[in-house]
Amino acid sequence: MSTLVNKTVITGTGCFIPPIIKTNRDFTVHDFFDENKTRIETDPSVVVEKFRQITGIEERRYAPTGMNTSDIGTFAAKDALDESGIDPESLDQIIVAHNFGNVIKHTNQSDMVPSLASRIKHNLKIKNPHCVAYDVLFGCPGWIQGLIQADAFLKAGIAKRCLVVGTETLSRVIDVYDRDSMIYSDGAGACIVENLEVDSINGSGILSSASATYSMDEVYFLNLGESYFPHSDPRMRFIKMKGRKIYEFALTYVPAAMKECLERAEANIRDVKMIFIHQANEKMDEAIIKNLYKAYGIDKTPESTIPMNIHKLGNSSVATVPTLFDTVRKGNLEGFSLSKGDLVLFASVGAGMNINAVCYRI
């Protein structure tokens, strides 16, 4: 018999997709170097095509020069607030996930003072001092971790309404001489979560979560390092990753976290309508989800469970999951739609190395 219970419910979502399109063709004029600062002699067009085959990325989005990470995060936040219909002054917390803060175009210096959350609160013109604004640094899983933190505060009765934002301008911390620079993009996604009274069985809300940090040999799989260009300034740092090691790590540990999350929700993979996984690499994401289904003895992964926008938007780190969710939720991704009562799973992996997952009923 169902009863009424309080759950953390997403009441509004929003995203900002930057207007500047950077296609794969734009990279065919680049000179690429390896980690030993040796020029890669393979024709750049061949390098780019191989990249597309592996990652699925054909285009990515960059923010205009005059927009910072906090600016695009504000646009996504306004979108979510508008849909929720709440008074921004009623927010108890603003949680903003990112990795590099504001980075002024043509530099790669991070600016995180004041916090991006405080800047977004300022941009939204929220005067309420009891609306606490703070940042989360958790690698690419940052937005999901922000959602998990908001859920904890709501359940504890400390907050009733929270804004969770994931925003990033990775295009400003990339080494253009590194093949991996083609993966990264800019973007922002956001949601409003509220503590609401819902049906205990079929009511909307967060059902469970799981998080993990692996920081022994894995800790520097993603880090900041020198440019691969032999004559670069050694004082400058750019985002670097050990792609093969991340791929192998993710295939083992991400499915395990997703399964743990489902078990905590007392749900089965067969109950899941859709999986919103961090848009890092098409083949890696497909392999992760395939391994999850295999853990339940299912050999074939239903294509209808895996929405993707990486082909056109690239990897915008903390913004990929909320942007993808907002797009599908609002019926803007062909072939994918959600209905009241559907069970979905959010999951991500990134620098730290951190992993997390959230089970949510629409």
Residues of the chain short of pLDDT 50, as ranges, are: none
Q: Is 36 a catalytic residue?
A: no
Q: Is 15 a catalytic residue?
A: no
Give the integer Cα–Cα distance in Å for 187 and 313: 8
The pLDDT mean for the chain works out to 94
Q: Active-site residue among 102, 309, 315, 354?
A: 315
pLDDT of res. 180: 92
Determine the Cα angle at 52 with ends 46 and 58, to 5°: 115
pLDDT of res. 255: 96
Q: Active-site residue among 140, 162, 261, 359?
A: 140
Residues 6+ apart with CB under 8 A from 240: 175, 178, 180, 222, 223, 224, 225
pLDDT of res. 1: 62
Reported in sequence order, the residue ranges of the chain that DSSP labels E, i.e. its strands, are 4-16, 20-23, 59-62, 93-97, 102-103, 110-111, 132-136, 161-169, 186-199, 205-213, 222-225, 238-241, 272-277, 343-350, 354-361
Class level of CATH domain 205-361: alpha beta
Q: Check if 4-199 and 205-361 are the same fold.
A: yes
| Fold assignment, 4-199 | Peroxisomal Thiolase; Chain A, domain 1 (3.40.47)
Q: Is 356 a catalytic residue?
A: no
pLDDT of res. 270: 92
- Which residues face 4 on adjacent strands? 199
Q: In 3D, which of 78, 57, 92 has the Cα closest to residue 12? A: 78
Pairing of strands 93-97, 186-199: unpaired
Give the integer Cα–Cα distance in Å for 175 and 233: 12
Domain positions in the chain: 4-199, 205-361
pLDDT of res. 203: 85
Give the integer Cα–Cα distance in Å for 235 and 23: 30
Q: Active-site residue among 102, 278, 291, 354?
A: 278
pLDDT of res. 199: 81
252-279 confidence digits (pLDDT tens): 999 999 999 999 999 999 999 999 999 9
Percent of the chain predicted with pLDDT > 70: 100
pLDDT of res. 263: 96
Residues 6+ apart with CB under 8 A from 1: none
The sign of the dihedral angle between the CA atoms of 266, 269, 273, 275 is positive
